[in-house]
């Protein structure tokens, strides 16, 4: 979306023919403007707004099956959802997942960015290795970690066995399964967010650090009062992406646990997939999707309205 703007402006300049044709300049300018918006608008409406609206409509109807067509059933789907223990489980899991993954990812990304922003030996190698997980597709990552977590000969158990710790069924135990998936998500995303922090850090004027050094500020004080506030726009961007990812990325669940054992690793979107494409209860899947949409909308709004005011843009 952002990218299409400058292109539109550039294209507009040499093509100002409507003016020479005569007629009301204002009107043709309006039409021209709308025409420029049209390609993006069509895509947005077709793939974002229209599906969202039909999803909301479908959530008030029953699922059509065979010869039975959909009938209006009011809020029955929503009532069924409130009574559905798996839905609550998935929602709860997702909250735990998001509240662990987001802060851990951001903290790790920031730490890595600061580490490789400084002058240390082997910097290019470190940068590359921090970024590598991002380049891999999530399916590949999940398959790699599946073997890391394998009881007995998996990497994790092999390392622990050196210290005499017994083998552990990491993904098969309901106390550890979700934590294992959280680790995978952090590992996968931290490198990606690190790039944004690194870019922001490199744009920061070195004069600030020099001034702080003259004033005798400690490194931690400098980070807390200067670096971190200046990174806030980046943090907001990263935060939004991290939140979206924590509700959107479920590839690793499909590969590693299929939501098991006993739904302990079922996230909301995974449950929606199950309901929609395994149970074929499309109306109920639409209902769950509405909840997910509402949740994300509230989170995004909250971020833009509340956090944005506190952020200092240069």
Partner 1 sequence: MFYARVKWLIPIVGAVTMALTSGTIAKDIELSFYYPIAVGGPITKIIDNDAAAFEKENPGIKIHAIYAGTYQDTLVKALTAFKSGAPPDIAVLLSTDMFSLIDEDAITPFDALLSTDDDKAWAKSFYPAFMENSQTGGKTWGIPFQRSTVVMYWNKDAFKAAGLDPDKAPDTWDELVADGGKLTKRDAVGNVSQWAIEIPSSGFPYWLFQGLTTANDVRLMNQAGTKTYFDKPGVIQALQFWVDLSRKDKIQPEGTIEWGTTPKDFFERKTAIMWTTTGNLTNVRSNAGFPFGVAMLPAHQGRGSPTGGGNFYLFKKMTDEERNAAFKFVKWMTTPERAADWGIATGYIAVRPDAWDTPVMKKYVADFPAAAVARDQLKYAVAELSTHDNQRVTKALNDGIQAALSGTKTPEQAMKDAQQEAVRILRPYQ
Closest separation between CB of residue 183 and partner 1, Å? 17
Give the C-alpha separation, 269 to 73, whole Å.
24
Identify the residue among 258, 300, 301, 304 touching partner 1 (CB under 8 A). Answer: 258
- Which is nearer to partner 1, 93 or 263 (by Cβ)? 263
Identify the residue among 66, 124, 206, 216 touching partner 1 (CB under 8 A). Answer: 66
Tokens of 5: 């703007």
Site string for partner 1, 193-232 (x = CB under 8 A): ----------------------------------------
Residue 263 within binding range of partner 1, rule CB under 8 A: yes
Residue 147 within binding range of partner 1, rule CB under 8 A: yes
Q: Is the CB of residue 87 less than 8 Å from the CB of residue 288?
A: yes
Give the C-alpha separation, 248 to 240, whole Å.
12
Identify the residue among 28, 134, 150, 303 touching partner 1 (CB under 8 A). Answer: 150
Residue 174 within binding range of partner 1, rule CB under 8 A: yes
- Which is nearer to partner 1, 200 or 268 (by Cβ)? 268
Residue 233 within binding range of partner 1, rule CB under 8 A: no
Site string for partner 1, 40-59 (x = CB under 8 A): --------------------
Closest separation between CB of residue 281 and partner 1, Å? 8
Number of residues that bind partner 1 (CB under 8 A): 31
- Which is nearer to partner 1, 62 or 235 (by Cβ)? 62
What's the 3-state SS for the chain? CCCHHHHHHHHHHHHCHHHHHCCCHHHHHHHHHHHHHHHHHHHHHHHHHHHHHHHHHHCCECCCECCECCCECCCHHHHHHHCCHHHHHHHHHHHHHHHHHHHHHHHHHHHHHHHHHCCCCCHHHHHHHHHHHHHCCHHHHHHHHHHHCCCCCCHHHHHHHHCCCCCCCCCCCCCCHHHHHHHHHHHHHHHHHHHHHHHHHHHCCHHHHHHHHHHCCCHHHHHHHHHHHHCHHHHHHHHHHHHHHHHHCCHHHHHHCCCCCCCCCCCHHHHHHHHHHCCCCHHHHHHHHHHHHHHHHHHHHHHHHHHHHHCCCC
Residue 260 within binding range of partner 1, rule CB under 8 A: yes
Identify the residue among 173, 249, 291, 295 touching partner 1 (CB under 8 A). Answer: 173
Ranges within 98-127 binding partner 1 (CB under 8 A): none
Which among 23-31, 142-150, 201-209, 237-245 is the span making contact with partner 1, rule CB under 8 A?
142-150
Q: State the residues that interact with partner 1 by CB under 8 A.
A: 65-67, 86, 146-147, 150-153, 161, 164, 166-167, 169, 171-174, 257-258, 260-263, 274, 277-281
């Amino acid at each position: 979306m952002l990218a299409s703007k400058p292109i539109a402006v550039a294209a507009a300049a040499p093509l100002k023919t409507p003016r020479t044709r005569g007629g009301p300049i204002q009107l043709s300018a309006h039409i021209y403007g709308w025409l420029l918006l049209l390609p993006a608008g069509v895509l947005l409406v077709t793939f974002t707004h229209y599906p969202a609206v039909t999803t909301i409509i479908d959530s008030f109807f029953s699922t059509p099956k065979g010869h039975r067509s959909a009938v209006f059933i009011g809020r029955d789907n929503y009532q069924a959802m409130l009574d559905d223990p798996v839905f609550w489980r998935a929602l709860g899991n997702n909250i735990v997942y998001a509240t662990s993954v987001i802060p851990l990812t951001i903290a790790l990304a920031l730490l890595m960015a600061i580490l490789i922003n400084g002058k240390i030996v082997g910097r290019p190698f470190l940068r590359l290795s921090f970024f590598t997980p991002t380049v891999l597709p999530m399916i590949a990552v999940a398959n790699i970690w599946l073997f890391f977590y394998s009881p007995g000969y998996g990497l994790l158990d092999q390392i622990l066995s050196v210290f005499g710790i017994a083998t552990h069924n990491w993904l098969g135990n309901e106390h550890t399964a979700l934590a294992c998936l959280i680790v995978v998500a952090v590992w996968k995303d931290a490198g990606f967010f690190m790039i944004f922090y690194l870019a922001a850090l490199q744009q920061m004027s070195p004069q600030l650090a020099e001034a702080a050094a003259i004033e005798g500020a400690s490194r931690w004080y400098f980070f807390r009062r200067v670096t971190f506030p200046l990174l806030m726009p980046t943090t907001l961007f990263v935060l939004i992406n991290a939140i979206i990812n924590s509700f959107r990325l479920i590839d690793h669940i499909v590969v590693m646990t299929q939501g098991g054992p006993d739904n302990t690793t079922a996230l909301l979107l995974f449950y929606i997939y199950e309901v929609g494409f395994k149970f074929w209860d499309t109306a109920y899947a639409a209902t769950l999707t509405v909840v997910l949409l509402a949740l994300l909308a509230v989170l995004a709004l909250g971020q833009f309205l509340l956090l944005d005011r506190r952020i200092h843009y240069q």
